[in-house]
Chains A and B, each alone.
Chain A
Amino acid sequence: MNIEPIARQRPSRNRSFGVVRKLLSVNWLFVLCICLLFGVGYAALYSAGGGSVSPYANSQLVRFLGMLALMFAIAMVDIRVIAKASWPAYVLGLLLLLFVMKFGHTGLGAKRWITVGGVEIQPSELMKLFLTMALAAYFCRANYERVGQWLFLVVPAIVVLVPVGLILKEPNLGTAVITALIGSTVMLGAGVRWWKFAIIIVVIAVAAPLLYHHLHAYQQARIITFLNPGSDPLGAGYNIIQSKIALGSGGWTGQGYLHGTQNQLNFLPEKQTDFVFTIIAEEFGFLGSFAVLCLLFSIIGIALYESITCAHAYGRLVALGIATNFFLYCFVNLSMVMGLIPVGGVPLPLISYGGSALTAVMLGFGVLMSIHVHRDVEFSAGEF
């Protein structure tokens, strides 16, 4: 029996493990990446505020610090406790979705968020995490043979489709698609065959024209605009044109911090939220925006590394879901800013101004940290 140095000891069979030692075993590289990304966001929001810490930068900093503390708190919770909470969390998420449809605040014609103790919460954002956890809890005990059975997949299919349906009803097309994609990715990680997804994609492709007629007018308009941005230069397409001009005028090194003409000119109505990347790209150029891309991907990379190195299936699947969630945030937002996909109201995580996405992402990171700290624990047979 070889004795490891104390610092390298990790929680395993013993449920309780000193908080100090747990804190030491947090993945500090990951924390550093988070803080660096937020720093970039702070600088961009400072610029969006016209070279001022108000109204955006400092209030976002307060939110971030609060969420950072929450992240560490969650990291200290044993992953088995979190795993046990998966299904209750999922049910809570569904209730919140129902609640928001009845009583939530309305933004841009859609009921999307509620405010709890001054923190904006968008149940659809939380649902992405809770769905991941529920699917992981479902699949982590199953072997590949069972995953291969069609019947076994009925429950997870319902588990994914119910929240997706509710989010579509809000209506929030972008988040609904993202939620479905996260669910699919977790199922893929759990061993569901590729071709089963191929079948679903074909079904969707056929159903899309039918679905289109059931979309809201603004959603139809977004898709039309996407297909032909010139058709409505002063409506939604205006944003894309201005956003592309902002990106394009950045060049290699940018126009200089606080000197981006497009941003300082207020050409973009929601530059501090969804279009925050244009500020970085215009003022710091391609070098700056590429550096941010690298930082964003480092988060995804570390999350995937956590998923591969985790000893238990629950942690592997949840980490995969969290990595995918973060990836989809970045992908949708960046593509939107570059005019590759329709404008979807998806913020750039850790950088955009706003509370609900930050809350959801940081909660997920808390769970990811817990997975890291407790990557060697074993789930006993009757645990849940």
Chain B
Amino acid sequence: MRRDNKERVAFSRRALLIGTAQLGIFGAIAGKLYNLQVSQHGKYAMLAEQNSISERLVAPLRGLITDRFGVTLAGNQQHWRALFMQALTPQPEIVLENFYRLVPLSDDEKARIATELAHRPKYIPVLLKDYLEWADMAAIEVNTPDLPGVIVEAGASRDYPYGPGLAHAVGYVARPNEREAQAQTIFALPGMRIGRTGVEAAQDDALRGSPGFVQTETNVHGEIVRQVAEDMGIPGQTVALGIDAGLQALAVQRLGTDAGAAVVLDATTGEILAMASNPSFDPAVFDKGVPAELWNSFLADPKDPLQNKVIAGLFAPGSTFKPTVALAAMKCGALTADTILTCTGSFTLGDHVFWCDNHVAHGSISVDAALQVSCDVFFYQVALRVGIDRMAEMAHTMGLATDLGVDLPDAEPGFLPTLEWAKAKGIYWAEGSTVVQGIGQGYTQLTPLALATMMARLATGVAVGPHIARRIGGTLQDASAAGNWPTLEVDPAHLAVIRKALFDVVNTPQGTAYASRLTLPNVQMAGKTGTAQVHNNTAAEKQKGFNDLTMAWEDRPNALFVGFAPYDNPRYAVAVVIEHGNFGAQSAAPVARDLITYALINDPAGRDTPLNGPVAAAPSAT
């Protein structure tokens, strides 16, 4: 025991010695720290202030937006810009004066520069001028000694090869405003853009990337001697859309000068293959900052060029709503495939007379024939049997007037009336309102995207949701993978009855869209025309007929067509709305036929660029 104690004392002595040595070393570290931090503070503070190796952050390259085959829809284009690093010069005011003498700027721009100089951290340069002209660059170059801290560098601006054709789907970018710049440092970087609409806005996080930096060595005059290190940061991810640029171009071409919208969906996944909205605008103007008069002209235009009518245009669906009414009726037992109702050309409820189109008496007809010839009287009666709430319920199931969760900003769900809504609004709900609901008139307001979704769900029996992003950074989005959507909660037998009726609409001589049947061998389209009044036409007006071209443009009905193809194995769903285009069969159906024909021939659904291979060209139309 005593020996143990002796050893313990010896150990303690050594441990204490070791501890003392360690404490001594810590003391030395503290001393060195004092020397660096306190004694030499002046020297290092000055070095920190005028760190001869200065660093500035640079904006990352924004990610590309491509179509499903890798065709660039939004890219980056090089331009030259002048930046100012105020930390590089003791007298920024004088440098700015010199610069303004060489490159005149507007007072607004000078005010912006002054604000930014006051607010930006010193490692973030301030943009003096974007899109430098050759003459400006030469002037800056020659006068470098008078301009310490001024940097001319290549920057990227957003380029939209498809211009107005994809302006709504792809969207546009703009300079972040001062509030955004102060909230998030990355937005303060010159050349940084923020997506304002469309995919540019919806996928802004993925497209943005992370900033890089440039380290430069400067002399005492603030002139850059050499670039020391460069890290371009992490470019934004490429977002590949479901869009097929070829199909999109056709949609734009076929809409022509008509105001309206056209959308093609992959019926099995809900992917948006084409999305055109007319009239449109040039998205590139927003990158440079849109001039006030142009902006005001956009706002004043009654055809609303800035609105994406596919997702936000609200239209009465007209007869394209009838398939949904029929499904609702079949679900509640008010209608079967064999139910026969009589059309005498008009329908009287109380003291009000509801007319069939052109006052034609269709006689005794079933649901198949009623859809085929678009009999209104049949659906007046069906609507009364079903009631407004059950129609709305079925419509929601089919994707109408409900939030579809599309990955684009500013999407409108649309609207369908219900008794609850009428009660809340204090509207007396007359049965007559239910009657007109049966033919898609009245309060009902739907988007073309919802109508196309309705068609896709009807065609496939799958509750697909429309979406536009297919791959982000190469990763296939869940929504685009086949088989990821739930089965529609509608009796498949009912769907089959309606699909057959819609087949007859297009492929039988009596059908309203017979003129727009496909001319391809062994493949058929099914669909439904719609001609929707845009305001409460008087009975006299209605009697006059809609194809009266003496009617003012804005009073003419909207023309609609919804459809899917191939009939026996649906792959594509389409919706076309031509504003004030009169008959759906006349103006909307041919556009839909051409889009479906292109889609069937080129068959973009499910295919895209091979991931690791070179970017494949879009298949050419045959």
Contact = CB atoms under 8 A, between A and B. Distances in A.
Interface of A: 50, 143-144, 185, 188-189, 191, 233-234, 238, 244-252, 261-262, 264-267, 281, 285-286, 289-290, 293, 296-297, 300-301, 304, 307-308, 313, 316, 320, 323-324, 327, 330-331, 334-335, 338, 340
B30 A188 contact: no
A320 B15 contact: yes
B64 to A, nearest CB: 26
A49 B309 CA distance: 42
Interface stretch (B35-43, B293-301, B440-448): B35-43
B29 A248 contact: no
Contacts of B47: 245, 248-249
Nearest to A248: B44
A338 B29 CA distance: 9
A286 B30 CA distance: 9
B7, B15, B51, most chain A CB atoms within 10 A: B15
B26 interface: yes
B15 A308 contact: yes
A50 B211 CA distance: 14
A251 B45 contact: yes
Contacts of A191: 7, 10-11, 14
B18 A281 contact: no
A316 B51 contact: no
B7 A267 contact: no
Interface string B1-40: 0010001101110111011001101100110111011101
B18 A286 contact: no
A245 B38 contact: no
B19 A300 contact: yes
Contacts of A247: 33, 36-37, 44
Nearest to A261: B48
A262 B48 CA distance: 7
A249 B16 CA distance: 36
Given A191-B7, A316-B8, 15 more contacts: A188-B18, A189-B11, A189-B18, A191-B11, A247-B33, A248-B40, A249-B47, A250-B37, A251-B38, A267-B51, A267-B55, A286-B38, A293-B29, A308-B16, A316-B15
Contact of B18 (A185, A244, A331): A185
A238 B51 CA distance: 12
The binding surface of chain B is classed by DSSP as helix
B439 to A, nearest CB: 55
Q: Sorted from nearest, which 7 A-B pairs have the closest CB atoms?
A: A248-B44, A249-B48, A286-B37, A304-B19, A251-B41, A249-B45, A327-B22
B514 interface: no
Given A234-B229, A316-B11, A249 B3 contact: no
A301 B55 contact: no
A300 B22 contact: yes
A334 B29 contact: yes
A193 to B, nearest CB: 11
Given A264-B121, A316-B15, A327-B22, A248 B30 contact: no
Contact of A331 (B14, B16, B29, B48): B29
Given A338-B29, A338-B32, A188 B14 contact: yes
17 contacts: A143-B3, A234-B228, A245-B51, A246-B48, A248-B40, A248-B45, A262-B48, A267-B51, A286-B33, A286-B34, A293-B33, A297-B23, A300-B19, A304-B16, A316-B8, A320-B15, A338-B32
Contacts of A265: 55, 123
B236 to A, nearest CB: 18
A36 to B, nearest CB: 17
A105 B452 CA distance: 51
A307 B213 contact: no
A249 B10 CA distance: 46
Contacts of A320: 15, 18
A334 B22 CA distance: 13
Interface in B181-224: 185, 213
A369 B590 CA distance: 83
Interface in B106-159: 121-123
B37 A248 contact: yes
Given A285-B37, A338-B36, A307 B15 contact: yes
Nearest to A265: B123
Contacts of B3: 143
B281 to A, nearest CB: 37
Contacts of A304: 15-16, 18-19
Contacts of B43: 248
A94 to B, nearest CB: 27
A320 B14 CA distance: 10
Contacts of A293: 26, 29-30, 33
B37 A289 contact: yes
B44 A313 contact: no
Contacts of B15: 189, 304, 307-308, 316, 320
B125 to A, nearest CB: 13
A307 B16 CA distance: 10
B12 A308 contact: yes
